[in-house]
């Protein structure tokens, strides 16, 4: 809610104060950007040949996880969590691949639209189960992660299927300058077209409201249940996009969920979205995903074992969450 209150204060305050408060409010995000820049410089330093191909590879490998992080961020801001994002992605991935296998390019459009609708439906099922059964969201989505992963295995037992060519070309290669990978353009475009308008709507405001204080939101007339279900539907939509981006970048469907659920939680936390809900945006998590991926790339350049890289990612996740909650505890005492 502070997002809407702050501009009013900023107008009244002197410019210096406004700048200071803007810095304070966005300090986490600025820190992330600085960290990202430092990592890029470091990467260039340890691998002088890191350039156009590196950036393009980075964009393609980041795309599915970035979309998953956006999906997770939306639910977390509404005060929930979804542990089935990886499974939803796997299900959409295989459904898309099976639909598009040996079909015309035009049918690919229908298949993609069908996949997006599927994502909305899966999200709606998750959200409705949480709202109507009143079972904690963690339990429901953990259980549903197995349901969706099982469904993916029922659709196709072994990796297979295909992808429409235009979908694959949508994320590979560059756009205009060779320094602008298409995958990055696609990501920014999707977020700008879907999330930014949604945030400005009544629903977007309600989303933050139920995340920051559900009871207060209810008493101010927010339809809490409906907003939660809509949040999960939006999550399903972005998870479906993430699943489709896997289809697009690999060209096939793989019925086994990747590590996306866990990494999306890590990215959301690292991206400055409070797990308690009501705070943050989707750009922090996207920057966090890029940072996590660059760290992985750097560890490859430094020829560190990829398993140790996994350990390191876990340590980062735990460390960030610990520091985050430590700050919250301090704030609570002050």
Partner 1 sequence: MSGIATTGPSRNRWLTAAAWRSLFRDRPMIPLLALLLVLVIVSDIVRPGVVGTEWVGIMLRAAVPLAILAACQTLTMLTGGIDLSVGAVASMAGFVVISLVLSIGLPAAIVVALICALIAGLVNGIGVGVFKVHPLIMTLGMSLVVLGAANFWQIQTVQTSSGVPPAIRTLGSDVFAEVLPYSLIVFIPLAIVILVGLRRTGYGRLLYAVGDNPVAARLSGARSWQVLVVLYIISALLAAIAGFLYAGYTNVASVSLVDSAVLPSVAAAVIGGTSIMGGRGGFGGTIVGVLILTVISSLLTSLGYPEAVRQVLFGAIIVAVAAAYTRVTDQT
Select from 86, 90, 75, 185 the least CA-distant residue to 137: 75
Judge contact between 104 and 251, C-beta under 8 A: no
Q: Does 314 bind partner 1 (CB under 8 A)?
A: yes
Contact pattern from residue 64 through residue 103 relative to partner 1, giving x for each residue in contact according to CB under 8 A and a dash for the rest: -----------------x-x--------------------
Q: Does 38 bind partner 1 (CB under 8 A)?
A: no
Contact pick of 229, 244, 265, 273 for partner 1 (by CB under 8 A) = 265
Least gap, CB of 49 to partner 1 (angstroms):
28
CB 327 within 8 A of CB 277: no
Q: Minimum Å distance from CB 134 to partner 1?
A: 5
Give the separation between CA 122 and CA 232, rounded to whole angstroms: 9
Count CB neighbours of 170 within 10 A: 18
If we measure between CA atoms, which residue out of 199, 202, 218, 201 comes closest to residue 210? 218
> Is 300 near partner 1 (CB under 8 A)?
no
- Judged by CB under 8 A, the residue of 75, 129, 170, 190 near partner 1 is 129
* Nearest distance in Å: CB 77, partner 1: 16
Interface residue with partner 1 among 52, 138, 192, 196 (CB under 8 A) is 138
Considering beta carbons, is residue 172 or 325 the nearer one to partner 1?
325
Q: Which SS3 state, helix, strand or coil, does residue 250 take?
A: helix
Whichever of 108 and 127 has its CB closer to partner 1, that residue is 127
- Please identify which residue in 275, 295, 299, 301 interacts with partner 1, judged by CB under 8 A: 275
Q: How far apart, in whole angstroms, are the C-alpha atoms of residue 286 and residue 63? A: 9
Q: Least CB distance from residue 315 to partner 1, whole Å? A: 6
Residues sharing a CB contact under 8 Å with residue 55, sequence separation 6 or more, in sequence order: 179, 181
323, 28 contact by CB (below 8 A): no
**Looking at 35-43, 138-146, 208-216, 295-303, which segment touches partner 1 (CB under 8 A)?**
138-146
Show Cβ contacts of residue 71 under 8 Å, excluding neighbours closer than 6 positions.
82, 85, 234, 235, 236, 237, 238, 239, 242, 264
CB of 178 to partner 1, least distance (A): 35
CA angle (115, 120, 123) in 5-degree steps: 120
Site string for partner 1, 148-167 (x = CB under 8 A): -xxxxxx--x----------
Determine how many CB atoms are found less than 10 A away from the CB of residue 307. 8
Residue of 134, 330, 331, 333 that binds partner 1 (CB under 8 A): 134
Q: Which residues bind partner 1 (CB under 8 A)?
A: 81, 83, 129, 133-136, 138-140, 142-147, 149-154, 157, 262, 265-266, 269, 275, 305, 307-315, 317-318, 321-322, 325-326, 328-329
């Amino acid at each position: 809610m502070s997002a809407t209150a702050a501009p009013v204060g900023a107008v009244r305050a002197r410019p210096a104060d406004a700048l200071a408060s803007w810095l304070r409010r966005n300090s986490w995000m600025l820190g992330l950007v600085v960290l990202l820049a430092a990592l890029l410089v470091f990467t260039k330093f340890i691998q002088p040949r890191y350039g156009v191909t590196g950036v393009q590879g980075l964009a393609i490998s980041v795309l599915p996880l970035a979309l998953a992080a956006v999906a997770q961020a939306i639910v977390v801001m509404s005060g929930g969590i979804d542990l089935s994002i990886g499974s939803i992605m796997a299900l959409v991935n295989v459904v898309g691949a099976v639909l598009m296998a040996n079909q015309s390019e035009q049918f690919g459009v229908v298949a993609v639209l069908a996949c997006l609708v599927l994502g909305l439906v899966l999200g709606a099922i998750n959200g409705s189960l949480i709202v109507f059964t009143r079972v904690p969201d963690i339990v429901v989505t953990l259980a549903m992660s197995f349901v969706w992963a099982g469904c993916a295995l029922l659709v196709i037992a072994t990796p297979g299927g295909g992808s429409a060519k235009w979908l694959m070309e949508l994320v590979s290669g560059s756009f205009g300058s060779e320094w602008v990978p298409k995958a990055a353009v696609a990501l920014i475009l999707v977020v700008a077209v879907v999330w930014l308008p949604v945030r400005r709507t009544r629903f977007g405001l309600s989303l933050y409201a139920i995340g920051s204080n559900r009871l207060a939101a209810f008493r101010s007339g927010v339809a809490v249940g409906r907003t939660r279900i809509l949040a999960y539907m939006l999550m399903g939509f972005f998870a479906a996009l993430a699943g489709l981006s896997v289809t697009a970048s690999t060209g096939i469907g793989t019925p086994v969920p990747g590590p996306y659920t866990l990494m999306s939680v890590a990215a959301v936390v690292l991206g400055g979205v409070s797990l308690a809900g009501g705070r943050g945006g989707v750009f922090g998590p996207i920057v966090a995903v890029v940072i996590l991926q660059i760290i992985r790339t750097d560890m490859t350049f430094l020829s560190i074992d990829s398993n140790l890289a996994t350990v390191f990612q876990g340590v980062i996740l735990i460390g960030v969450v610990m520091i985050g909650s430590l700050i919250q505890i301090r704030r609570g005492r002050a």
